[in-house]
Each structure stands twice: as C-alpha cells, then as structure tokens.
Amino acid sequence: MRHEWKHQIHLGEDLVLSRRLRRLFPHDSHAGPDGSYRVTSLYFDTPYDQALREKLDGVDRREKFRLRYYGCDTGFLRLEKKYKVNGLCGKRSVSITAEEARLLLAGEDDFLLASGEPLRMELYSKIRGKGLRPRTIVRYDREAFCYGPGNVRLTLDRRVRTGLCSTAFLDPDRFCLPVLEGITVLEVKYDAFLPDLVRMAVQVPGRQAAACSKYALCRMGLFLFFVYKRSYSGVMYSPSFGVTLVALCLITTLLIMTVISNVVLSLGMVGALSIVRFRTAIKEPMDIAFLFWAIAVGIVLAAGFLPLAVLGSLFIGGVLLLFSRRKAVDFPYILVVHCQDAQTEEEVRAVVETQVRRMVLKSKSVDSQCVELNYEVRLREGESGFVNELAGMEGVSHVTLVSYNGDYMG
C-alpha cells in the first residue's frame, strides 16, 4: 500500500516544476527520449456508476478495474485493479492479450473464469455480479520521475482526453476529445515516508490541491457532450457546438484558476476580456443554457468543488433530458403554396381548412405571376396526404410542407 497525492497545476506551474524535477530526479527507464510516454486506459464501471460515485463521495474503501497499454503498442496490455483503503492506494495487475481485450469489449468474458488467475476471476465475478462494463477511455501523455529513498514516483500527466466510444480502445489513432486541456495533473506516490527533497521540489506557489480523478473529469466532459446531443431539438445538429461546450468549460476553468492564483494578473485579465464582443447569433434558445452550463462547470471545477460540479451537472442533465423527451401536443408545420390567382387561393384555403386541425396565415406575397401563401398548420395525427391533393389542383404550381420549431422568419 502506498500514499498518493494528486494536484492540478496550470501550464506556467508545469513549466517551472518540470524543469526543476528534470535536474533533481531521473526519468522513468521505460520513457521515450523526451522522458514521456502515452498512457491509454479503459475503465470499467457498473450501470449505476458505482466507481465514479464512490470517488466523488470520498469512500474510504473503493476499487476500480481498467485495461491499459502504453504508447501505440496494443501488444502489451495489462488488466489492473486499483484500490484505496483509508487513504492508502494499492494496485494488482496481470497481462492480457489484445484478442482477450477484444472479447471483453464484445461482452464475452468466459475466458476470465477459465484462466484460473485470481484477478481475472475477480473481474469475472464483478462483471456477472455487479454488471461491470467498459465505460470510459482515458488517454494522456505522462512524464515520470523516480527517486529511490521512499520509493517515490512523480508523474506529470498532460493533455488528458477521452474517447467517444469504448470499442475504440484498441485503436491508438482514433480521435480523443480533450477534457483537461491546459491543465497538468501532478501525482506523487511513495511508501512509508516522503523525503524532504521531494516535498520541497514539488512546491509551487499558488498550486491548487485537489482530489483530481482523470476518470471523473473525462466522464464530466462526455456527459455534457451527450446531454446536448440527446436533447437537441433544432433543425440541424452541429457536432462542433458540442465540442465547443467542452472547450468552453476547460477555458473557463483555466481563467478562474488564473484569477484565484494571482490578483494582479486577474485585474489585467478582466480588463482584457471586457473589450471582447460576441456577435454570433444563437439560433437555438436552448444553446444559451448549455453555454452557461459549460461556464458554470468550469468555474466550479476551478474552485475545487468537483463533487458539486458532477452532482449539479447530473441534476441539470436529467432535467434537460426529461423535458427534451416530451412530445409537443401540436407540432407546427409551415405550408407554402404558389397559386395562380385569387380564385385558386380561395380553393386552396377551403381544402386546407378541412384537412388540418388549425391553420393561420403567416404571410402572403403577390407578384405578376403567382400568389405565395405561407400557412402555419397543425396536422391531424400527422396526416399529410392533402399536400398531394393540393399539388394536383389546377392553378397550383408549387406546394411545400416544412416542419419548424416555432421561430418564423418571413
């Protein structure tokens, strides 16, 4: 069992700290020429997010299972169980092949029991007993240092990002969404004691200590993205806006962390931001709510209230998903008809009145060749066959029925 400290530091602190550590301690022997390597993990969790909830609640005895590989080599895979008891951390691991990992991703787990290996059999029992399933990919670039006395290991985890689909775990080239851009996670692990040299080396003015979980942060970013995608009700969904929400959350976090760490810098930042003007129109009213949600999450995370950010987001996301699933009683449509003359216009109006529940004339345009009518209509049980009848009428040259969200533009 080992002690483990985690801290979030911003880019300036990372620059100072990494230079200091490189002069004092050797890099991990398995690292690349620059002293760093990439880590890709796939975390398991129950349908009720037990591992995530226990992390947020600060449960003294908790555990989590994960698959992990380093760099782009999926030939060396590890099945790991990380556990924590009364503040002390431990880890058990066993090797696993890429083919076995593919079986797990496909939901086939009988080979775990047949292997007879204790850790594999334990994962099998948790899969069958608690419903553990692959949930979240976490990927980051790690720079690791070692120090013999105290068996100390210091790591700087940068560019934390997450995969959008757990089945892409074994694809090292698949795009991963940034969730902690601009922030580095400092981890200090040691056995019985922490040498004074290490304790002084990791001191950075203004550092913010926190129980930082890369797994929890990745789940937060994906949750915001997921809720927006599922609750969107506009005409055309924009994936880039979902990514923008995650980026806005991270940017806000960086700004607030900077403000709380340096008063003079915060005053200058306020002055710089005060001249910014946003002129892009928000087409969907609900997008404004998501923008404020992303900003609020960034502020709360920067203040160190990770449980509040997660629980608040779960509540807000639940409310938005609940209301987005409610079907409108009368879904509006716009009916556009091009008529030859006034007589045809009256005939069209008479037909439409008998075929829809409600109709309202929104606009009428007249030129030398035709009369354009725009009606807002409410269909009877979704029946739209009258559109074909209108198109076949003499004097009608064009008919269009369009669903819209209530914002009419004439």
| Token code pair at residue 138 | 């976490």
pLDDT at 376: 87
**CA 199 to CA 179: how far, in whole Å?**
29
User: Residue 371 is which amino acid?
Assistant: V
pLDDT of residue 335 exceeding 50: yes
CATH topology of domain 332-403: Alpha-Beta Plaits (3.30.70)
Region of residue 107 (left: phi > 0; alpha: psi -120 to 50; beta: else): left
Number of H helices, E strands in the chain: 13, 14
How many percent of the chain have pLDDT more than 70? 74
* Cβ–Cβ < 8 Å for 184, 154: no
DSSP characters over 64-104: EEEEEEETT-TTSEEEEEEEEETTEEEEEEEEE-HHHHHHH
Every domain range in the chain assigned CATH 3.30.70.260: 332-403
CATH topology of domain 1-212: mRNA Triphosphatase Cet1; Chain A (3.20.100)
Q: 8-12, 217-221, 233-237, 284-288: which range is least confident on average?
A: 233-237
Longest dimension (CA), the chain: 97
Region of residue 86 (left: phi > 0; alpha: psi -120 to 50; beta: else): left
Question: What 3-state class would DSSP assign to 156?
Answer: strand
Every domain range in the chain assigned CATH 3.20.100.30: 1-212
Element (H, E) at 9: strand 3-10
Query: pTM, whole model, 2 decimals?
Result: 0.56
Segments of 148-286 assigned E as strands: 152-163, 176-178, 183-190, 208-209
**CA 141 to CA 164: how far, in whole Å?**
18
pLDDT of residue 77 exceeding 90: yes
pLDDT at 44: 92
pLDDT of residue 408 exceeding 50: no
Q: Select the more confidently predicted residue: 336 or 260.
A: 336
> Mean pLDDT throughout 153-176?
86
**CA 75 to CA 66: how far, in whole Å?**
16
Report the mean per-residue pLDDT for the chain. Answer: 79
Q: 58-72, 91-105, 220-234: which range is least confident on average?
A: 220-234
pLDDT at 80: 93
**CA 49 to CA 44: how far, in whole Å?**
9
